[in-house]
Amino acid sequence: MLQKLKALKANAIQELESIDIAKELESWRIRYLGKKSELTQILRSLASLPIEEKRAVGACANEVRAELEDNLRQKEQALQKAQLALSAQKESVDITLPGRSFPRGHLHPITQTLYEICDIFGSMGFRVMEGPEVEWDYYNFEALNIPEEHPARDVMSTSWIDYETDSGQRPMLLRTHTTSVTARTIETMSPPIRVVEPGRVYRYEASDATHTPMFHQIDGLVVDKGITMGDLKGTLYEFARRFFGEERKVRFRCDYFPFVEPGAEMAIECLNCGGEGCRLCGNSGWIEILGAGMTHPEVLRRGGIDPEVYTSFAFGMGIDRLPMLRHNIDDIRLFYGSDLRFLKQF
Amino acid sequence: MKIPLSWLQEYVDIALPSADLADRLTMAGTEVKGIQVIGDGWENIVIGQIVAINPHPNADRLRLATIDLGTEQHTVVCGAPNLNLGDRVAFAYVGAQLIDGHSGEVFRLKPAKIRGVVSKGMACSEKELGISDSHEGIMVLPAEAPIGTPLAEYLGDTILDADITPNRPDCLCILGIAREAAALTRQSLPLPEVKYEQAGPPIDQQVSVEIAAPDLCPRYCASLITGIKVTESPLWMQQRLLKCGMRPINNIVDITNYVMLEYGQPLHAFDYQKIKGGKIIVRRPASGETITTLDGEERRLSQDMLVIADKEGPVAIAGVMGGAASEVASETTSILLEAANFNPANIHYTGRVLGMPSEACMRFERGIHPELVMPAIERATQLIVQLAGGEAARGLVDVYPGKAEPEPITLTTDQVKRLLGVDFSLDQIVGALTSLGFDCQEGASEVRAIAPYWRSDIHVAVDLIEEVARIMGYDNIPTTMLSQPIPRQTPDPILSLKQGVRDSIAGYGFQEVLTYSLTSLEMLNKLLPESGSVEPLPLRVANPMTLEQEYLRPDLRANLLAALSANMRYEEDSIKLFELGKVYLPKEKDLPDEPEMMCGVASGSRWGRSWHGGDDAFDFYDAKGAVEGLLSQLNIEASFVEGKDQSLHPLRQAAIVAGSNQLGVVGELHPKVSLAFEIPEAVYLFEINLSALLPFTLGHRIFQPVSPFPTMVRDIALVVDVGVTHQQATDIIRGFPLVKQVAIFDVYSGGQVASGKKSLAYSITFQSSTHTLTDEEVNKVQQKILDELSRELGADLRA
């Protein structure tokens, strides 16, 4: 009998080991541990055995039963684990594969810069004004104290429109600065005025790394009672602080523009060398950012504003330079080359 | 303007380090762009004297020069033709840093054996020292040059390079910068007295001047110096001219240039013998008159210009350039020296039209003052007598029809405060103005100031305020924030429209580009496969820089397609670009219309190649989808109708219309246009005129109440003729009550549909705002819809 139990155990364990699907465990259990199983029958038949044998076989049979039950539990756990491992393999995702993209376009760096500048001035109460790009000589020059043959015209080489008046004059041009919008604003609006005027401007110039025949500017104009040069300085310093950062040093020096008096120029500490002097800043340590000043009384008067009642400041700044400085771009032509390899970086 | 500090120092004491002086000048308006130190690398170069010259034993062209350096003597091999016993020269020891006379490269001098003779050191040319380009011989120093002294001590200098603003012609000279430096460092500026001996008969008997055009020539002064000898000018003068960027020519020309650099007044020296009749006439040219100028060019003059003429004809173009016929040459013995003042605009015009900008031109066109004429001609005459020998005639000719008394300008302390926002005292104001040479009369709280004659830029009170501000220092102006109330603002609605459109289109995956506003006809004509030439002709620039940039763009398409084409070369497989900007539409005798346009293009595959698959090409509905999305976002009711744009595929395009206005187009680019732009794939394009669209933006949306009752959805599939449009079907379906929404979910033609027919499948959502719908109710409406579709469109319900 003991021999039989031994063989049964060996059989059962061998069979159990070969099982690799959870479903088959149940039939194994029924076969070896179920009510009709050999083992159960042996246990039931114990009563008929003599006492000595009953004790020995009973102990052995119970042992075998416990052992088989234990093996079954272990096998169940092992199969469960294997199952989990298997499904983990099937269900997991490779998190390093790229996601399904939502194609995103980018705004041009010049547009981004213009938005940012208009936001900064907007928060100081400036509204945005625009004006024509094809302009009359009057608004681009005459109204701004730059009559014909004025040397200030030389630094703004002009592209003229092929249009002659009956008297043979050529009064139409591509505006050389957005200050032409200032001339129009003075003429059409009444004080108080607080505006910025962004847009494209044009010069009769060949392209190189720092020049293009078309670029962007923004002009600003404030007209009110009691506007001072201190307010001009304050406004521009605030702009510089917000655009270039708190720690960037600023310089405000005397300069000349025919439509302002006193005139000024604002420069910031060179972003490249931090004021030490390098090629970018022409060894000066400073980068000129904008021209400004108190609007010339003659310019106000010509536009119908009484300079005895109102004072005014104006400023004008090139836009393209700013993203060039910020992103370390060394060639202005990249802005107008429409090269996606460049534009997608912003 | 180049300013050698050694020259400046003759007028004003410069105690500051040169960088600090440069900074002070810059802050006050004279921007110093650079500081050049001459003699920076001149270690191991000293002044020596040639004490012996011997032939080279092995070479005819070379000689052996023995140079005395005071404490020692060196014999070196020298190839220069101008070796003269007793001359003082610059001697470089072995180890000195020099510039190669031929290659222009910097090198360090090594001992050398030249044709068998060892040479340790050399006598240097100007080029080798970096002073000028002259390399014909060694540089000969003045006889008083101290032997044994380092050259840097004797010839070294610091040169400031300053940008002079156009309003300050008075700063285009050493004296002008000295005045600025003196004012900024609060020093006085003593001017040397100019005196020279006058002899012979009075000038009036030998020279006469007539100004026939006093509007263009307010003053003309002349002096006469006879018995001069034209030679080289002394080294010190040549050195100063070179440092200022001018080439020495001869003593007479050099003196006129020197005085121009010193005083700011251009002068011209005529050979007196070549001025016919000794008579100068300042007049407008006669019709067709010409002159051969100093540079040998024959110039055709117009009657808007001004010439200096003698009895026979023009001898110079006033203020611009002298004539070749009266040029000072080596045989010249008498000089008629001119110092005059000319109308700035006229000089600018002449210089511009003739394409002859010059140092003189630059000074006249910026408006130097007629008073400057007298000190300058006296100074130049003195130098000629001193350096070229000769005798100055007694007196000067001075014709001065444009004399004007200077007007005093009144400035109050209140005016200064009102404009600058800082309370400078009257003392401070007067102090600043006086330091600049203004003649000030003080009142209780105001000053009456007369500008010194050289300040031709001072006209009104604000001019004085700038003078005060820059002398007191812009750093002393306070930094204040605007304190006035913010003005009432009504922003132009196009601004937010533009921003909204940019953000949306970029959100749809289109990259913004900015292209030039100028383009070429050739480019524009590529868009027109039918007509072939753009009409009306776009606005043309009269002076185009290149032919690629001659015409102002009448649309955004050409440059955008060129950008697309260029990007395809970089093998981008999915490209979507857009531009938002103005186009320029010509108008009769007026500025052009400048509507704001937005144009987008897409080509290639929709998603690009991806491991996700779905590598579909763009089609018409991508472009239309972008437009629909945009219109919906802007809350614009517009429809798509058949389009007739010749740049687009005739069967695959739509016009976007609102009311009777066309707002734009959408479609596939005409294959011929794609070909013209060298684009190998289909291009889908949309273009919207934002200025035209603006009035159709409906503003704020009105809330539609949400029905609390459930919806019921029915799907129907119709078989219709291929010519029937989706629009026709939906218009009918939408017209029925209870129809909440209609969505097309399938379009099919082929296999199971008869030829000439197509199947359209719609999902119709029914909903009532008052009750829960029953099947019966919906069945009834659905049947009516099908009946109507069948009647109107001949539609069959697809089984």
Rounded to two decimals, the ipTM of the complex is 0.88
Of B371-380, B462-471, B530-539, the one with minimum mean pLDDT is B530-539
Class of domain B2-39+158-184: alpha beta
Q: Are B341 and B267 in contact (CB under 8 A)?
A: no
Q: Please, which residues 190-249 of chain B have a Cβ atom closer than 8 Å to chain A?
A: none
Show which of residues 597-626 on chain B sit within 8 Å of chain A, judged by CB atoms.
Answer: 607-608, 610-612
Stretch 306-365 of chain B: residues touching chain A, C-beta under 8 Å = 344-346, 348-349, 352, 362, 365
> Could you read off the pLDDT of B18-45 as tens digits, one per residue?
999 999 999 999 999 999 888 888 889 9
**Chain A residues touching residue B544 (CB < 8 angstroms):** 159
Output the CA angle B660-B665-B667, nearest 5 degrees: 140
Q: Assign A52 a pLDDT band (cuts: 50, 70, 90).
A: confident
Is B698 a residue whose pLDDT tops 80?
no
pLDDT higher at B606 or A208: A208
The alpha carbon dihedral of B635, B641, B644, B647 has a sign of positive
- Over residues A310-319, the pLDDT tens digits come to 999 999 999 9
Q: Say whether both A320 and A173 belong to one domain.
A: yes
CA distances from B584 to A176, B58, B470 (A): 17, 78, 44
> Which residue is listed with tokens 């049979």?
A61
In a domain, A97, yes or no: no
- Asked if residue A135 and residue A47 are part of one domain, the reply reads no
If one counts every other C-beta atom within 10 angstroms of the C-beta of residue B626, the result is: 23
Asked whether the predicted pLDDT for residue A10 surpasses 70, the reply is: yes
Residue A26 has, within 13 A of its CA and on its CB side, a CA count of: 2
Mean pLDDT of A172-178: 97
Asked whether residue B743 carries a pLDDT value surpassing 80, the answer given is yes
Q: What DSSP state is assigned to residue A112?
A: H
- The DSSP annotation for B195-230 comes to ---EEEEEGGGT-EEEES-TTT-SEEEEEEEES---
Q: Is A100 among the domain residues?
A: no
B592: nearest CA partner in chain A: A134
- Contact between chains at B543 and A159 (C-beta distance less than 8 A): yes
What percent of chain B is modeled with pLDDT above 90?
A: 79
Closest partner CB to A134 (pick from B31, B349, B591): B591
Q: Quick one: A154 and A219 in the same domain?
A: yes
Nearest to A177 by CA among A148, A134, A217: A217
The answer to whether residue A300 sits within a structural domain is yes
Helices (H) and strands (E) in chain B, counts: 21, 44
- Exposed/middle/buried for residue B45 (C-beta within 10 Å: 0-12, 13-18, 19+): buried
Arch. (CATH architecture) of B198-399: 3-Layer(bba) Sandwich (3.50)
Residue A14 predicted with pLDDT over 70: yes
Q: Do A177 and A300 sit in the same domain of this protein?
A: yes
Q: What is the CA radius of gyration of chain A?
A: 44
Give domain status of residue A30, yes or no: yes
Kindly identify which residue of chain A lies nearest to residue B458, measuring between CA atoms. Answer: A261
Tokens of B427: 């003392």
Count how many domains chain A has: 2
Asked if B363 and B204 count as a contact pair (C-beta separation under 8 A), the reply is: no
A80 pLDDT above the threshold of 80 = yes
The whole-number pLDDT of residue A59 equals 85
Q: What is the pLDDT of residue A32?
A: 86
A318 and A285: one domain?
yes
Tell me if A297 and B460 make a contact (CB, 8 A cut-off). Answer: yes
Confidence at residue A7, expressed as pLDDT on a 0 to 100 scale: 85
Minimum-distance CB partner of A213 among B470, B545, B570: B545
Q: What is the pLDDT of residues B144-157, one digit of tens each?
A: 889 999 998 888 89
Q: Do B344 and A170 touch (CB under 8 A)?
A: no
Residues A67 and A134 grouped into a single domain: no
**First CA to last CA distance, chain A:** 87
The conformation of residue A33, written as its DSSP 8-state character, comes to H
Report if residue A28 sits inside a domain.
yes
Q: Which of B349, B474, B566 sits opposite A264 (nearest CB)?
A: B474
Pick the more confident residue, B114 or B760: B760
How far apart (Å, rounded) are the C-alpha atoms in residues B28 and A262? 11
At B297, the pLDDT band (50, 70, 90 cuts) reads very high
CATH number of residue A150's parent domain = 3.30.930.10
Q: Can you tell me whether residue B258 is helix, strand or coil?
A: helix
What CATH class has B409-476?
Answer: alpha beta
Distance (Å) from the alpha carbon of B357 to chain A's nearest alpha carbon: 11
Tens digits of residue pLDDT in B178-214:
999 999 998 888 887 899 999 888 999 999 999 999 9
pLDDT at position B263, please? 96
Alpha-carbon gap: A127 to the closest alpha carbon of chain B (Å): 6
**pLDDT computed for residue A11 by the predictor:** 86
Residue A45 lies in a domain: yes
The larger pLDDT score, comparing residue B450 to residue B545, is at: B450
- Which residues in chain A are contacts of B471 at CB distance < 8 A? none
pLDDT per residue as tens digits for the range B335-346: 999 999 999 999
- Name the residue of chain A whose CA is nearest to B576's CA: A105
Q: Which long-range contacts (CB under 8 A, 24 or more apart) does A4-8 make?
A: A4/A42, A5/A39, A5/A42, A5/A57, A5/A60, A5/A61, A5/A64, A8/A32, A8/A38, A8/A39, A8/A64
For B561-591, how does the pLDDT look when each residue is reduced to its tens digit (9 = 90+)?
A: 999 999 998 877 889 999 999 999 999 999 9
Does A75 share its domain with A170? no
Average pLDDT of the residues in B470-489: 95
Q: Going by CATH, does the domain composed of B45-155 fall within 2.40.50.140?
A: yes
A228: chain B residues, CB-CB within 8 Å: 418-421, 480
Domain boundaries, position A75: 2-91
Q: How confident is the model at residue B614 (pLDDT cuts 50, 70, 90)?
A: low
Please answer whether residues A107 and B502 qualify as being in contact, where contact means their C-beta atoms are separated by less than 8 angstroms.
yes
Q: Is B487 on the interface with A (CB under 8 A)?
A: yes
Cβ proximity of B216 and B318 under 8 Å: yes
- pLDDT recorded at residue B702: 87
Rounded (5°) CA angle A231-A311-A219: 65
- Single out the residue in A91, A117, A143 at which a domain terminates: A91
Asked if residue A75 and residue A224 are part of one domain, the reply reads: no
Tokens of B533: 């030439």
What is the phi/psi pair of residue A77, to 5°? -60, -45
For residue A103, being part of any structural domain is answered with no
Q: Please calculate the CA angle A29-A34-A39 and round it to the nearest 5 degrees.
A: 100
Whether residue A3 is predicted with pLDDT greater than 90 in this model: the reply is no
- What is the arithmetic mean of pLDDT over B97-105? 88
Banded pLDDT at B304 (limits 50, 70, 90): very high
Query: What local confidence, expressed as pLDDT, does residue B799 receive?
Result: 63
Q: Does B470 touch chain A (CB under 8 A)?
A: yes
Alpha helices, H only, A105-190: 109-122, 137-140, 179-188
Give pLDDT tens digits for A290-310: 999 999 999 999 999 999 999
The reply to whether domains B2-39+158-184 and B409-476 share a CATH topology is yes
Domain ranges of chain B: 2-39+158-184, 45-155, 198-399, 409-476, 493-696, 712-797
What is the percent of chain B where pLDDT is above 70?
Answer: 100
Indicate the residue among A91, A124, A145 that finishes a domain: A91
CB contacts < 8 Å between A and B, how many? 259
Cis check: omega of the bond before A109, within 30 degrees of 0: no
Distances (CA, A) of A163 to A166, A218, B43: 10, 27, 63
CA pair distance B73, B515, nearest whole angstrom:
70
Domain boundary residue among A46, A63, A91?
Answer: A91
Smallest Cα–Cα separation from B392: which of B664, B197, B187, B175?
Answer: B197
Q: Which of B165, B420, B608 sits opposite A255 (nearest CB)?
A: B165
Distance from CA of B277 to the nearest CA of A (A): 35
Residue B482 has its nearest CB partner, among A128, A149, A222, at A222
Q: Is residue A45 domain-shared with residue A154, that is, in the same domain? A: no
| A19 and A140 part of one domain | no
Whether the predicted pLDDT of B714 surpasses 90: yes
Report whether A261 contacts B165 (CB < 8 A).
Answer: no
Phi/psi for B656 (5° steps) reads -100, 120
What mean pLDDT do residues B410-430 have?
A: 97
Which of A223-237, B184-198, B486-500, B748-762 reaches the highest mean pLDDT?
A223-237
Structure tokens that stand for A21 in this block: 């699907």
Average pLDDT, chain B: 93
User: How far, CA to CA in Å, does B662 sit from each of B41, B560, B658?
Assistant: 73, 21, 6
Mean pLDDT in residue range B536-555: 94
Q: How confident is the model at residue B135 (pLDDT cuts 50, 70, 90)?
A: confident
Q: Which long-range contacts (CB under 8 A, 24 or more apart) does A60-65 make?
A: A60/A2, A60/A5, A61/A5, A64/A5, A64/A8, A64/A9, A64/A39, A65/A33, A65/A39
Interacting residues of B3 by C-beta distance below 8 A, sequence separation 6+: B159, B160, B161, B162, B174, B177, B244
Report whether pLDDT(A283) > 90. Answer: no
Q: Note whether A181 and A124 are same-domain residues.
A: yes
| Nearest neighbour of B513 by CB, restricted to A108, A229, A261 | A108
> For residue B508, which residues of chain A lie inside 8 Å, CB to CB?
103, 105
Which chain B residues are Cβ-neighbours of A103 within 8 angstroms?
508-509, 574, 576, 607-608
Same domain assignment for residues A252 and A330 = yes
The DSSP secondary-structure symbol of A323 reads H
Q: Give the confidence band of B532 by pLDDT, cuts at 50, 70, 90.
A: confident
**Does B612 have pLDDT greater than 80?**
no
Query: B712-797: which CATH topology?
Result: Alpha-Beta Plaits (3.30.70)
Per the document, the length of chain B is 799
- Measured CA to CA in angstroms, residue B226 lies from B134, B230, B393, B701 at distances of 32, 11, 8, 94
In this structure, how many other beta carbons lie within 10 angstroms of the beta carbon of residue B445? 12
CATH no. of B493-696: 3.30.930.10
Q: Is the pLDDT of residue A327 over 80?
A: yes
Strand pairing of B391-394 and B198-202? parallel
Residue carrying structure tokens 């719609």: B762
